[in-house]
A and B are shown apart, each in its own frame.
Chain A
Amino acid sequence: MADPMKIRANMMGDKVVVKVLMAHEMETGQRKDSAGKTIPAWFIQNVTATHNGKTVLSAQWGPAVSKNPFLEFRFSGGKAGEKVIVTWTDNKGDKRTDEATIA
């Protein structure tokens, strides 16, 4: 099981600013280990963020997103105290869902 995400969701005016830091290797499949064998690709493919059951961002990622990915986005219609839920799925089928309360 992967480590939890760090999610911050803060009100900025009437918008919610969401910053997410995920813990993931994001292995490209291009690198070789010391024995010369290719290290298989292992990366987050899908990211979805929801607020009150409505998707506020969905993303498809390739292996070129940096290790321990960072993501920032902004949406309107949120209020302090409500929750933002972020889920990612990687190419091995591993999944992680975390949530943050809008401050």
Chain B
Amino acid sequence: MKQSRRDLLAASGGVTVMALAASAGLFKSGDLHAQEWNKSAFDTKNLQDTVKAFGGSGAAESKDIAITSPDIAENGAVVPVSVTSKLGKTESIAILVEKNPNALSAAFDIPGGTEPFVSTRVKMGQTSNVHALVKADGKYFYATKEIKVTLGGCGG
């Protein structure tokens, strides 16, 4: 009787340790995720530097990437931008605004099963070329569209 009670305690102790380890593991992955932000890429000033910060060597222009946005944005603080890629094996999509203080606005990883499409809203300081940078099958491609801004989004 005593023996079985001891076994039970030992067993439950083990479960507690495992639960603690699991929760510690979860916290750890959460911390790692927070550090995943690619600071060097977000500090770049132009498309080619951004490609390098992502680990690529260069990007080729592609007609298979479509940028959907208004041609003229009345308010630079809220410019809707959608990117659709028709390139096979699209792995990631990034949105860059050439004349912003830092070019890269947002980068999305597209896992298998998710459509190579994203839509978001970005800030633009002034009229500028907007690039959509797509990584497909290990290579980088881009498309460019000029968006005119009548009221800047970075001033006060």
Contact = CB atoms under 8 A, between A and B. Distances in A.
The judgment on whether A and B are partners is: yes
B123 interface: yes
Contact of A30 (B109, B115, B154): B154
A42 to B, nearest CB: 14
B107 interface: yes
Contacts of A73: 108, 114-115, 117-119
Contacts of A30: 101, 154
The B interface, classified by DSSP as helix, strand, loop or mixed, is mixed
A101 interface: no
Given A31-B154, A45-B37, A93-B34, A62 B104 contact: yes
Given A72-B120, A73-B115, A46 B106 contact: no
B97 interface: yes
B88 interface: no
Contacts of B123: 26, 28, 63-66
Q: Could you tell me the dominant secondary structure of chain A's interface residues? A: strand
A56 B111 contact: yes
Given A46-B36, A70-B121, A89-B33, A65 B115 contact: no
Interface in A19-72: 26, 28, 30-32, 45-46, 48, 54-67, 69-72
Interface of A: 15, 26, 28, 30-32, 45-46, 48, 54-67, 69-77, 89, 91, 93
Interface of B: 33-34, 36-38, 41-42, 77-80, 82, 97, 100-102, 104-111, 113-115, 117-124, 153-154, 156
